[in-house]
Structure 1
Amino acid sequence: MFKIIDRYVIKKYLGTFSFMLILLSIVVLVIDVQQKIPRIENAKLIDPKLDLSYFLVHFYPYWIVNLVMTFLSILVFISVIYFTSRMANNTEIVAIISSGSSFHRFARPYLLTSLFIASISLVINHFVLPWANIKKNELEAYTYNARNKEKVLGTAPVTAQLSRTEYIFINSWNKMERRGSGFIYQKFDKNRRMIYELKSSDVYWDQNKKYFVLNSYVEKTVNKNDSETLRNGFDLKKTYGAAPEELFPNELLGQNKTTPELLKFIKRENEKGNSNLNSHLNELYQRTSMPVSIIILTFLALSLSSQKKRGGLGINLAIGISLAFMFVFSFEALKIVSENKSLSPALAMWFPNLVFLPVALYLYLKRANQ
């Protein structure tokens, strides 16, 4: 009998979750497309192929993957509250417990299903989602407003720390064209004394040959006796160990890397002495904390909705949506706190779970002992 009940609960869990997942995807997709049509039409002025049909095929499928993985734990939470509340209102749970099953035994299919969804989510977050983000991020800037689009595709000053003693500064760098002006490379000795400087009026990245081309350059070498040796020319090719996207990373770069690649990137930047890595560390820790939250929120939802209440399904959904809002808001707020270096990324991305876990455990044990 217990296996029949297990299959019944698992079917309810996965069925409700799948329905919520499809419904959310369709509704949000329609709303987002309607909102962004004017910006997509403007993208056609840059490239004629960037019409709505192109975005529907090459952008929105990957955007949906990102959206679903962002809100997956909340979808699970609301789904569990919904179908469990209906079971409680129909006195199905009372009948199951009265048949000799303990509440712990009744909760077993919830645990198994949440572990199954969390495991899939873990694999997707660490290895599949970065691939989807690469596809999404190629076009996402075209859906931004003019100000945010300029930040991603426009021209701005950039800096890069190649090592603890080497720096690059570019006064004006166009991220889309990979071209800039006002290039400076400086190298220092262990006493922070500049020993070499390279300047050029213009610089661009040769994508085919994987190097920077410096035009109208001047080299200055500072000798041990503080004398200077100067050399100039019209064309100089230089490699600095990585492409511009790696040398001048933005907050989206971490999203595009699988976890092994992200770990290597963070390690390399730490070795260079780059301390501005919190946005990438947030991305790293969130990939594991979010799947774990699926299990925690499953048991929180079970504890809240497994007993028949006055107000029935409506009051349970109201509580569930309120808690879901708090959960999402706390993650986004803590990201900002962490990026401002007020809180460590690991603590910031695990803090909501650390708060919700004892609450879920307390409510579950309280419900089990009733």
Structure 2
Amino acid sequence: MKIIDLYIIKKYLGTFGFMLGLLTIIILVIDVQAKAPRIESNGFTVTEFLIDFYPYWIVNLIITFMSILVFISVIFFTSKIANNTEIVAIISSGASFHRFARPYFITSGVIAVAALLINHFILPLANIKKNELEPYTYSAKNREEFTGNAEVATQLSKTEYIFIKSYNKKEKRGSGFFYQKFDKNRKLIYQLNAADFYWEKDKKQFLMSNYLEKTFLKNDTEKLAQGNSMTKNFGQTPEELFPDVLLGQNKTTPELIKFINREKEKGNANLNNYLNELYQRTSMPFSVIILTVLGLALASQKKRGGLGMNLAIGIALAFVFVFSFEVLKVVSANKTLSPLVAMWLPNLIFGPLALYLYFKRANQ
């Protein structure tokens, strides 16, 4: 059986590699053509993006579609060997269906482990590069959220708050800065106003200009201080103080867990987008194994309609699977469903279905 194991593993990886390369080329060409006008209107060239953006974007693309490609690949090559009666010959030689399925489990397990490592440690590093330029591929309205000025309100801790009238995330500067600190009884004890401020990257602190400090003393009096400039350190970078939806993508899993725990300690209850990112990094690789089992069960028996029918069923199920993840992300972000349940629900539905069909096929 070792020869047959190697044969199936080569078929699996060969088909998966071909599908992966073909999809990457097609989507890359379509995406570049669609985004070229926006890229050039923002002062960049397509060549710059092909060097500094798309290599990292492709890593994200591969991980996003990996489980679908595995599913379609398994259905494609398994249907071919089933139609050639190779599976019948293998099982007729005395091998059980479970023994025949072993190389499928081995290969999908290796791909799943690789996907886990990439998701948790490598993909965030690629996303840092990708997300620097991605806003310049958006429409003007959507781009403004990441590169324009906006009002900001954030909670540093259970007793500290920052409000900014106008802040530019790209330049890390703003105007109308307002900071308040309360004691445990919710009584205001300190307040800082500044006309303008910006982040000094080298010194890792904020420089405030035209500031006014108010310290509220126990005898209901105020201590005032003002000046042209002062430095202030809030213990976090601007990206973490004023996070956007892309921040979670840029952090490795240990960094993301640390960030989420810190935000929970601050009292931030709006963390579902980051929790979705955290849980999906594990749930998606597990779907590689689940969809491999499902694809094997669906395609390992010769059917009327052959390869075309199996591919049609596979593509339909693959789109349902991916679409369900995207829908559940929105549902979870709106706090209708917990992120843990939302990101594992497709696996919890497709997993038992895959096992049922697998054992049904094995017992035939």
Do both proteins adopt the same fold according to a TM-score greater than 0.5, normalized to the shorter chain?
A: yes
Tell me which amino acid in the other structure corresponds to 1:263: I
SS at match of 2:255: helix
Q: In the TM superposition, what are the counterparts of 1:54-93 in structure 2 within 5 Å?
A: 54-93=48-87
Measured after TM superposition, the shift of residue 227 of structure 1 is 2.1
Measured after TM superposition, the shift of residue 225 of structure 1 is 2.5
Tell me which amino acid in the other structure corresponds to 2:48: Y
The answer to which of 262-271 and 299-308 deviates more is 262-271
- TM-score of the pair, normalised by structure 1: 0.97
Q: Is 1:159 paired with 2:159?
A: no
Choose from 344, 354, 358 the match for 2:352. Answer: 358
Q: In the TM superposition, what are the counterparts of 1:12-31 in structure 2 within 5 Å?
A: 12-31=11-30
Alignment coverage as a number of residue pairs? 364
Measured after TM superposition, the shift of residue 219 of structure 1 is 1.0
Tell me which amino acid in the other structure corresponds to 2:329: K
Q: d(CA) in 1 for partners of 2:109 and 2:281?
A: 15
Measured after TM superposition, the shift of residue 207 of structure 1 is 1.6
Q: d(CA) in 2 for partners of 1:107 and 1:53?
A: 45
SS at match of 1:353: helix
Q: d(CA) in 2 for partners of 1:131 and 1:200?
A: 35
Q: d(CA) in 1 for partners of 2:130 and 2:10?
A: 33
- Which residue number in structure 2 is paired with residue 238 of structure 1? 232
Q: Is 1:220 paired with 2:220?
A: no
Q: d(CA) in 1 for partners of 2:309 and 2:83?
A: 12
Deviations along 1:14-50, one digit per CA (max 9) or x if unpaired, are 0000000000000000000000010111121xxxxx3
Tell me which amino acid in the other structure corresponds to 2:115: S
The answer to which of 60-69 and 261-270 deviates more is 261-270
- Which residue number in structure 2 is paired with residue 279 of structure 1? 273
Measured after TM superposition, the shift of residue 214 of structure 1 is 1.0
Gaps of 5+ in 1: 45-49
Q: Is 1:183 paired with 2:177?
A: yes
Measured after TM superposition, the shift of residue 110 of structure 1 is 0.2
- Which residue number in structure 1 is paired with residue 190 of structure 2? 196
Q: Is 1:335 paired with 2:329?
A: yes
Tell me which amino acid in the other structure corresponds to 2:239: E
SS at match of 2:42: helix
Q: Is 1:35 paired with 2:29?
A: no
The answer to which of 354-363 and 193-202 deviates more is 193-202
Deviations along 1:37-89, one digit per CA (max 9) or x if unpaired, are 10111121xxxxx3111110110010000011011000000000000011111
Tell me which amino acid in the other structure corresponds to 1:127: F
- Which residue number in structure 1 is paired with residue 9 of structure 2? 10
- Which residue number in structure 1 is paired with residue 95 of structure 2? 101
Q: d(CA) in 1 for partners of 2:194 and 2:257?
A: 34
Tell me which amino acid in the other structure corresponds to 2:32: V
Tell me which amino acid in the other structure corresponds to 2:325: F
Q: d(CA) in 2 for partners of 1:197 and 1:77?
A: 57
Q: d(CA) in 2 for partners of 1:185 and 1:141?
A: 29
Deviations along 1:276-295, one digit per CA (max 9) or x if unpaired, are 11111111111110110000
Measured after TM superposition, the shift of residue 305 of structure 1 is 0.6
Identical aligned pairs, as a percentage? Answer: 69
Deviations along 1:185-206, one digit per CA (max 9) or x if unpaired, are 0001111111111111111111
- Which residue number in structure 1 is paired with residue 361 of structure 2? 367
Measured after TM superposition, the shift of residue 350 of structure 1 is 0.5
Deviations along 1:212-256, one digit per CA (max 9) or x if unpaired, are 111111111112222222221111110110111110011111111
The answer to which of 114-123 and 266-275 deviates more is 266-275
SS at match of 2:128: helix
Choose from 312, 316, 319 the match for 1:325. Answer: 319
Deviations along 1:113-165, one digit per CA (max 9) or x if unpaired, are 00010011110101100110011011111111101110011111112211110
Choose from 205, 209, 215 the match for 1:211. Answer: 205
- TM-score of the pair, normalised by structure 2: 0.99
Moved over 6 A (4+): none
Tell me which amino acid in the other structure corresponds to 1:26: I
Deviations along 1:298-356, one digit per CA (max 9) or x if unpaired, are 00000001111111111111110110011001101111111111111111111100000
Q: d(CA) in 1 for partners of 2:129 and 2:215?
A: 43
- Which residue number in structure 1 is paired with residue 252 of structure 2? 258
Q: Is 1:110 paired with 2:104?
A: yes
Q: d(CA) in 2 for partners of 1:117 and 1:41?
A: 38
Q: d(CA) in 2 for partners of 1:208 and 1:116?
A: 43
